[in-house]
Amino acid sequence: MINKKIGFIGAGNMAYSLVGGLTSTGVPGQNIWVSDPDNNKTAQMATNFSVNTCSDNSKLVQSVDIVILAVKPQQLAMVCTEIASDVSIRNPLLVSIAAGVLSNDIENWLSPSSSTDSDLALVRCMPNTPALVQSGATALYANSQVSDEQKMLAESILRSAGLTIWLDDESEMNAVTALSGSGPAYIFLVIEALEKAGVKLGLDEKTAHLLAIQTAFGASKMALESDDSPEVLRKKVTSPGGTTEKAIGILQEGELETLFAQALKGARDRSIELAELLGAEKKSAAGKN
């Protein structure tokens, strides 16, 4: 069990999920702080998880050992600037779950303008929305200041909402965004397509809906728990000359794999563009101040 004091700046869905996961694994609510300008969100957290709440981000940083930056990417520069001096004094482990914001930009926003080298221990994460039901997939990247103990702490926090995996190169985060970050939407689209196809074949909407969802869930569970690759599992359920082989053949003739490759490349490239745009916007704004 984590015995450090953890603070969440931002009380949105992802923060709610992580706090729920942490408290369900034995972390006392009294060891968790949450700040957010929306008092309704913090009140809900306090009621459901008995956590400490406040509206002052600086006060939160002064009270904890680990700070989770759980605000929207567009808000992160402002929040970092606000807490920079407190971070410098307190030197907590920082964990960012803001999508698309580079570690270097976060370090710059949190460091004094006169500083050339950052001593901030920062972990950048890319969780996905199934974390809301403790079934997420999160990639993590640590800068050079993060110790092994801190890496374990960050992993434990994110693992409370699902699977975690470490990256050695931050640039891989763009591919992660394309695969697992945006991935739930692809699966929802497949489920949606299966439902619609089932209805066209004569099933009522409720039956098609339930069968499509359970089939996707069951197949994913099998793939997760099996020692076989998805390719081997597919071949095992594809009898020669049978119905599955016929359907798979049609999907392959439509170049489904090529479409997915193109889709993920497009998402990866857009992730790079958005990160560059966000960093450039904040640098421009800082230059005007």
* 267 found inside a domain: no
pLDDT at 3: 87
* pLDDT at 289 exceeding the cut of 70: no
* pLDDT classification of 36: cutoffs 50, 70, 90: very high
Same domain assignment for residues 234 and 108: no
Same domain assignment for residues 112 and 136: yes
* pLDDT at 148 exceeding the cut of 50: yes
Same domain assignment for residues 99 and 224: no
* 278 found inside a domain: no
User: For residue 192, what are its two tokens?
Assistant: 């949606």
The CATH number linked to 145 is 3.40.50.720
The CATH number linked to 205 is 1.10.3730.10
User: For residue 145, what are its two tokens?
Assistant: 């200041």
Mean per-residue pLDDT, 274-279: 83
Q: Which domain holds residue 110?
A: 6-174
pLDDT at 286: 45
Same domain assignment for residues 229 and 127: no
- Cα of first residue to Cα of last residue in the chain, in angstroms, is 44
* pLDDT at 79 exceeding the cut of 70: yes
* 78 found inside a domain: yes
Per the prediction, the chain carries an average pLDDT of 93
Q: In what order do the strands lie in the sheet with 32-35?
A: 52-54, 32-35, 6-9, 66-69, 93-96, 122-126, 136-142, 162-166
* 263 found inside a domain: no
* 16 found inside a domain: yes
Lowest mean pLDDT among 73-77, 228-232, 233-237: 73-77
Same domain assignment for residues 59 and 157: yes
Q: Which amino acid type is present at position 135? A: S
Same domain assignment for residues 55 and 147: yes
Same domain assignment for residues 28 and 53: yes
Same domain assignment for residues 51 and 30: yes
Q: Count up the domains in the chain and report the number.
A: 2
Instruction: Tell me the per-residue pLDDT of 190-229, one tens digit each, with 9 for 90 and over.
Output: 999 999 999 999 999 999 999 999 999 999 999 999 999 9
Same domain assignment for residues 46 and 84: yes
